[in-house]
């Protein structure tokens, strides 16, 4: 189980390249619009996310400076609402269960095959923008272990080779 | 007032008090895990629930945020409540790792204590392991969020008290934890308030790791020796060595400390401390015995005095001496050396108090206590970057801003943390703050916003003030500095129309400009607005070092005896002649600046410098080096080999403040007792050195059995201290004026009027338009990362946070110069050229660069002169 704990604890690597400073200038109009009123943080974040697709560190720092809201506070809000994301998201989100039942029934092998074939680790997004991989601790479907969800679809009793077939269905 | 019954005891408390406060009022304890009196109640832990019966109905509710109401019957400890608290504790334990045997907080953990008190049995449900962030890399503080119980006190103290908001609750649901953004290491004030408030071991100070635990500490209460706020400290020792510093919640500072007070103490353990007396032989300083060193000092001062008269001797004391030492030093200089050439802080660091406040109001001291600031509705800061210089006073302004929605008006040459609060920021060149204040006064008069009848009863000199302001208007002043006049008008309205308002100035050797004129303008403004002589309204002048107020009270100035008594006052002199059993020269002596000039031209030949470092801190470094170099005999008494000590003929090692007895008087006139911890170095206490020297110089009667006896003498000779004696100085000390043994002191001055009859309004400086030169940069001496110079530079801990000074510039100027973070820039001014690393910052406005004055290696005082108001420089890419 220690190995599993390590996977769950692993810090998410920054998958996307840093946003270059000149692109960050795009945030200026948002900053201008919402400056001086910290109660508009959420709309400001919403617009920023619509612009970049996600809210990485540079975007949050820039907003923090511009809106004069402490960066930890912004980070707190971004991580609280599931609407916001700090990593670039793929078109499909894979939620692989590493809960005890699934792990015992082999979800580690599933993880390995996704690693190898799609080239992403937990928390990462594939280069082609197709998948984002997340690990979860029990999806509440232990009877079907091992389980993964892709988007809203649940796939149970999966095997490494079945996994690849399933992924084929999501382009 | 409301009256209720708690566990059968009748309690009457102020309306609005919580049930918890009412219970504490009568000493009934209710367990809490998320409550602190400094914070807004949060209601997270539910441990404080009580049973409340009113109008025949009984309900349970948290005591920490429910108000006490008339007629309530409260039960705090019923079997039902105990069960429910036990269940809460079990839920906390469910996911709290049981690492107590290896946790720093073990033995002093509120969770552990409550689990014990409530006899929590083995959990009847499965434990849960969670994975939260661990940070062992931040300075001073470490985080293990697996131990966190989500009480939120760290987040709240950082936001509500520090105004930093470095920590936040992040993520959601069972993943929620406390963190910085992206789990980065801290980049904040490093005050350690979060670690000190954490009820468990989730955030803790690193010092103790591997050393011991909090409950094993041997504690000594004393007073912080850095800035002038006088925060009370508890030095915790393990094996006779300081390991941990905290502050009692019952102290005047309510347990708040800044990074200097909490983590700056290792300077006392610095390897650089002087251990043996040094004497100059063949041009080099070599170690010697105490006997030889003292004898040499006595012989040389003696022979200079005999050959060229006592006026060829001079002495410089310090705001770092205790009251007792300053008092005895004063006596030593005036009666043993026989000269009135005595000064401290360059003769500048106290002038706002002595030449500004004292003649106008009566006392050379701030008018109110620091803790009153939190109730002010408007706070006007005049060139005072308290976040860096007086951090715990800054907390009071944050409290006023958060709780009272106070307006914070910052008039400054730099942007500060406080200029971000709700209020106004008026940006002016350094030294020009006074013109803004005068323009505000003029506006208040023109608009008729003052109550003339009320003012006439309390103050005189209004006509002369009006006359002197005739060339002022918000428009001229505004236009001159490129400020929207409306900003000045708003500042004036905000200040004068507030129910209660304070003005704050910070004195220090880094301040440019005329602090006397500024303090006079501040007092004028406070007087005409009616903001003096009542609670939470007044003028604060915060001195630089720990005993800034005491050094003034004890008369370390050329023209005053202890207790502001003038040297030319016959009665005062004869009083001290009797007590000191010696003649006192009636002629006023020279101040620091004249002493330096006289040393340069040979009329002063011997100088005794105690705990001060003129070479690095006085204006015009070249002149000081030249003057000290000419001296026939220079004695320096210090803990470290300062740049001044390097020039000395004899160096006498002194002890660290943590090894000292005596008292400090804080900027709020609070006299507090220092208590020595274990001896660290090999220096001698200053008091002992003065007495030994006196006896070697033939004045054996300058002798005291100890610090307490000196304080008794001070009490008998200094009217404001009459009621003070060591026996009366508890944790909170006493605030002067304290006139007899019954007097508990007076935190707010002038409530019943002024000791000088009516207050005296001062006339204003004529308005001299000063336009900053457009083509050159101005250099602004600043404080970076809470350094203060004399101690901080020797403190390995503070040096770890900020190892060297850098220049701060704003982004526009950096782009214009073509430099980026970390580039070298060349700064050229009257004092030569220095190369500095540059860093982008929001503090400097366009056309200015900030350079810390407290790193001796920068030689920043090469660029300043006595009385300079600005430092024009050229800045180039190096
Ligand atoms: S050290 Fe002080 S400023 Fe830094 S996070 Fe803790 S409370 Fe906040
Ligand atoms: S870290 Fe400590 S103070 Fe902060 S929320 Fe957790 S338990 Fe409370
Ligand atoms: S605010 Fe001043 S007195 Fe208080 S701990 Fe900090 S340096 Fe010491
Ligand atoms: S462990 Fe995977 S669904 Fe429960
Ligand atoms: S102390 Fe009242 S809820 Fe925690």
Backbone CA torsion sign across B321, B325, B327, B330: negative
Interface test with A, best of B134, B174, B181 (most A CBs within 10 A): B181
Collapsing DSSP to helix, strand or coil, B761 comes out as coil
CA distance B443 to chain A (A): 28
| Chain A residue numbers touching B131 (CB-CB < 8 A) | 5, 8-9
Q: Is the pLDDT of residue B390 over 70?
A: yes
| Mean pLDDT, range B481-500, rounded to an integer | 94
Which strand (E) or helix (H) includes residue A72?
A: helix A71-80
| Mean pLDDT, range B777-795, rounded to an integer | 77
How far apart are alpha carbons B185 and B759 in whole angstroms?
A: 52
From atom 8 of ligand 2, which residue's Cα is the shortest distance away? B151
Read off the pLDDT of residues B88-142 as tens digits, 9 standing for 90 and up: 999 999 889 888 888 889 899 999 999 999 999 888 777 777 778 888 899 999 9
Q: pLDDT tier at A15 (50, 70, 90 boundaries)?
A: very low
The pLDDT assigned to A13 comes to 54
Whether B2 contacts B15, CB under 8 Å: yes
- The more confident residue out of B791 and B728 is B728
The pLDDT assigned to B806 comes to 85
Report the range out of A8-22, A99-113, B58-72, B855-869 with the highest average pLDDT.
Answer: B58-72
| Chain B residue numbers touching A123 (CB-CB < 8 A) | none
Q: Which residue of A has its CA nearest to B184?
A: A72
List Cβ neighbours of B158 (8 Å cut-off, separation of 6 or more).
Answer: B164, B165, B166, B167, B188, B193, B194
Read off the pLDDT of residues B27-63 as tens digits, 9 standing for 90 and up: 999 999 999 999 999 999 999 999 999 888 999 999 9
| Chain B residue numbers touching A73 (CB-CB < 8 A) | 165, 168
Do the Cβ atoms of B164 and A82 come within 8 Å? Answer: no
Q: Is the pLDDT of residue A47 over 90?
A: yes
The pLDDT assigned to B789 comes to 63
What ipTM did this prediction achieve?
A: 0.86
**Nearest Cα to Cα of residue B45 among B103, B84, B16, B6:** B84
Read off the pLDDT of residues B257-279 as tens digits, 9 standing for 90 and up: 999 999 999 889 988 899 999 99
Q: Is the pLDDT of residue B577 over 50?
A: yes
From A7, A135, A138, A156, mutation site for ligand 4 pocket: most ligand atoms within 8 A of C-beta: A138
Q: Which residues pair with B506 in a beta bridge?
A: B542
| Mean pLDDT, range B563-580, rounded to an integer | 94
CA distance A165 to chain B (A): 32
Collapsing DSSP to helix, strand or coil, A126 comes out as coil
Q: Is the pLDDT of residue A99 over 90?
A: no
From B257, B319, B320, B785, mutation site for ligand 3 pocket: most ligand atoms within 8 A of C-beta: B257
Q: Is the pLDDT of residue B523 over 60?
A: yes
Q: What is the pTM of this model?
A: 0.90
* β B378-382/B501-506 pair status: parallel
Backbone CA torsion sign across B36, B39, B41, B44: negative
Q: Is the peptide bond before A146 cis (omega within 30 degrees of 0)?
A: yes
The pLDDT assigned to B363 comes to 95
Interface test with A, best of B97, B165, B177, B182 (most A CBs within 10 A): B182
Tokens 């715990």, residue located? B392
Do the Cβ atoms of B172 and A9 come within 8 Å? Answer: no
Read off the pLDDT of residues B799-838 as tens digits, 9 standing for 90 and up: 888 777 888 998 888 988 898 888 899 888 887 888 889 9
How far apart are alpha carbons B834 and B7 in whole angstroms?
A: 70
CA of B30 to the centre of ligand 5 (A): 10
Q: Is the pLDDT of residue B751 over 50?
A: yes
Ligand 1 within 6 A of CB of B205: no
Residues with CB under 6 A from ligand 3: B 224, 226-227, 229-231, 257-258, 260-261, 390-392
For residues B301, B692, B643, B675, the Cα torsion angle rounded to the nearest 10 degrees is -150
**Nearest Cα to Cα of residue B259 among B447, B84, B116, B394:** B394
Do the Cβ atoms of B180 and A11 come within 8 Å? Answer: no
The beta strand positions in B675-771, using DSSP E, are: 734-735, 759-760
User: Of the candidates A9, A57, A76, which has its C-beta nearest B168's C-beta?
Assistant: A76
Ligand 5 within 6 A of CB of B47: yes
Q: Is A57 on the interface with B (CB under 8 A)?
A: yes
CA distance B160 to chain A (A): 13
Where helices occur in B75-143 by DSSP H, the ranges are: 79-94, 110-117
| Chain A residue numbers touching B179 (CB-CB < 8 A) | 72, 75
- Which residues in B have their CB inside 8 Å of a CB on A? 129, 131, 164-172, 179-183, 420, 842
How far apart are alpha carbons B99 and B494 in whole angstroms?
A: 54
The pLDDT assigned to B158 comes to 97
Read off the pLDDT of residues B650-681 as tens digits, 9 standing for 90 and up: 999 999 999 999 999 999 999 999 999 888 87
Mean pLDDT of all residues belonging to chain B: 92
Whether B245 contacts B259, CB under 8 Å: no
pLDDT over 90 for what percent of chain B?
Answer: 74
The pLDDT assigned to B516 comes to 93
Interhelix angle B485-497/B433-446, rounded to 10 degrees, is 70
Mean pLDDT of all residues belonging to chain A: 85
Whether B686 contacts B323, CB under 8 Å: no
């Amino acid at each position: 189980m220690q190995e599993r704990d390590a996977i769950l604890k692993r810090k998410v690597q920054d998958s996307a390249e840093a946003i270059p400073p000149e692109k960050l200038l795009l945030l200026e109009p948002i900053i201008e619009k919402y400056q001086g009123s910290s109660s508009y943080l959420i709309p400001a974040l919403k617009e920023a996310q619509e612009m970049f697709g996600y809210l990485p560190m540079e975007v949050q720092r820039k907003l923090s400076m511009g809106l004069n809201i402490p960066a930890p506070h912004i980070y707190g809000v971004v991580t609280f609402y599931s609407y916001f994301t700090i990593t670039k998201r793929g078109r499909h989100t894979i939620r692989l269960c590493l809960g005890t039942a699934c792990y015992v029934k082999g979800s580690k092998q599933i993880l390995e095959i996704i690693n190898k074939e799609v080239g992403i680790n937990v928390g990462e997004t594939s280069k082609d923008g197709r998948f984002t991989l997340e690990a979860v601790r029990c999806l509440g479907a232990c009877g079907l272990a091992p389980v993964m969800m892709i988007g809203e679809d649940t796939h149970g009793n999966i095997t490494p080779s079945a996994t690849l077939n399933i992924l084929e269905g999501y382009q | 007032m409301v009256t209720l019954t708690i566990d059968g005891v009748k309690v009457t408390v102020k309306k609005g008090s919580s049930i918890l406060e009412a219970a504490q009022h009568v000493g009934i304890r209710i367990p809490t895990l998320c409550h602190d009196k400094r914070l807004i109640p949060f209601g997270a832990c539910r441990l404080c629930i009580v049973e409340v019966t009113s109008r025949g109905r009984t309900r349970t509710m948290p005591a920490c945020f429910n108000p006490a109401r008339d007629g309530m019957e409260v039960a705090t400890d019923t079997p039902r409540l105990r069960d429910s608290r036990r269940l809460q504790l079990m839920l906390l334990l469910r996911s709290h790792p049981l690492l107590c045997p290896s946790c720093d907080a073990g033995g002093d953990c509120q969770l552990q204590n409550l689990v014990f008190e409530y006899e929590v049995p083995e959990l009847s449900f499965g434990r849960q392991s969670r994975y939260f962030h661990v940070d062992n890399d931040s300075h001073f503080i470490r985080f293990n969020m697996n131990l966190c119980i989500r009480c939120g006190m760290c987040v709240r103290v950082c936001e509500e008290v520090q105004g930093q908001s470095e920590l936040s609750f992040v993520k959601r649901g069972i993943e929620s934890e406390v963190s910085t953004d992206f789990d980065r290491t801290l980049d904040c004030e490093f005050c350690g308030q979060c670690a000190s408030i954490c009820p468990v071991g989730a955030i803790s100070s690193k010092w103790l790791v591997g050393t011991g635990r909090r409950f094993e500490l041997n504690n000594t209460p004393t007073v912080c020796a850095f800035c002038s706020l006088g925060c009370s400290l508890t030095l915790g020792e393990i094996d006779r060595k300081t390991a941990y510093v905290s502050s009692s919640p019952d102290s005047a500072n309510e347990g708040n400390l800044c990074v200097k007070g909490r983590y700056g103490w290792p300077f006392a353990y610095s390897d650089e401390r002087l251990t043996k007396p040094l004497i100059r032989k063949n041009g080099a300083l070599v170690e010697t015995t105490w006997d030889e060193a003292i004898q040499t000092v006595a012989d040389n001062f003696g022979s200079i005095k005999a050959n060229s008269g006592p006026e060829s001797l001079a002495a410089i004391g310090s705001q770092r001496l205790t009251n007792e030492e300053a008092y005895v030093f004063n006596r030593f200089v005036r009666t043993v050396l026989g000269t009135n050439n005595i000064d401290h802080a360059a003769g500048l660091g106290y002038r706002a108090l002595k030449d500004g406040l004292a003649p106008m109001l009566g006392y050379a001291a701030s008018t109110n206590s620091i803790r009153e600031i939190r109730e002010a509705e408007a706070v006007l800061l005049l060139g005072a970057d308290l976040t860096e210089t007086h951090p715990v006073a800054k907390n009071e302004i944050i409290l006023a801003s958060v709780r009272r929605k106070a307006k914070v008006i910052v008039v400054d040459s730099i942007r500060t943390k406080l200029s971000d609060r709700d209020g106004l920021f008026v940006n002016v060149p350094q030294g020009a703050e006074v013109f803004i204040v005068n323009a505000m006064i003029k506006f208040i008069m023109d608009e008729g916003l003052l109550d003339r009848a009320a003012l006439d009863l309390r103050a005189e000199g209004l006509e002369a003030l009006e006359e002197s302001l005739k060339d002022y208007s918000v428009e001229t002043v505004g236009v001159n500095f490129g400020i929207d006049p409306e900003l000045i008008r708003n500042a004036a309205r905000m200040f004068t129309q507030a129910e209660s308002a304070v003005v704050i100035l910070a004195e220090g050797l880094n301040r440019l400009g005329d602090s006397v004129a500024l303090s006079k303008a501040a007092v004028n403004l406070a007087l005409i607005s009616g903001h003096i002589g009542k609670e939470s309204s007044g003028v604060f002048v915060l001195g630089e070092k720990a005993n800034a107020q005491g050094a003034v009270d004890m008369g370390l100035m050329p023209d005053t005896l202890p207790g502001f008594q003038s040297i030319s006052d016959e009665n005062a002199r004869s009083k001290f002649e009797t007590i000191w059993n010696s003649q006192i020269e009636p002629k006023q002596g020279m101040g620091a600046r004249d002493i330096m000039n006289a040393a340069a031209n040979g009329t002063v030949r011997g100088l005794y410098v105690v705990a001060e470092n003129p070479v690095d801190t006085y204006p015009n470094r070249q002149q000081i080096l030249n003057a000290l170099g000419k001296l026939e005999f220079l004695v320096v008494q210090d803990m470290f080999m300062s740049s001044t000590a390097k020039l000395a003929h004899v160096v006498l090692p002194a002890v660290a403040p943590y090894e000292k007895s005596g008292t400090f008087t804080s900027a709020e006139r609070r006299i507090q007792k220092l208590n020595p911890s274990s001896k660290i170095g090999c220096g001698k206490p200053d008091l002992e050195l003065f007495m030994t020297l006196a006896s070697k110089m033939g004045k054996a009667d300058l002798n005291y059995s100890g610090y307490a006896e000196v304080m008794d003498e001070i009490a008998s000779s200094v009217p404001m201290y009459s009621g003070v004696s060591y026996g009366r100085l508890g944790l909170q000390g006493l605030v002067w004026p304290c006139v007899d043994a019954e007097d508990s002191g007076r935190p707010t001055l002038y409530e019943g009027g002024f000791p000088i009859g009516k207050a005296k309004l001062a006339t204003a400086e004529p308005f001299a338009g000063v336009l900053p030169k457009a083509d050159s940069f101005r250099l602004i001496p600043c404080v970076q990362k809470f350094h203060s110079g004399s101690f901080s530079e020797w403190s390995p801990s503070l040096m770890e946070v900020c190892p060297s000074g850098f220049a701060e510039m704003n982004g526009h100027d950096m782009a214009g110069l073509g430099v980026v973070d970390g580039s070298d820039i060349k700064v050229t001014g009257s004092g030569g050229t220095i190369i500095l690393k540059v860093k982008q910052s929001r503090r400097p406005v366009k056309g200015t660069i900030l350079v810390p004055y407290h790193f001796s290696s920068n030689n920043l005082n090469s660029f300043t002169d006595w009385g300079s108001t600005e430092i024009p420089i050229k800045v180039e890419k190096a």
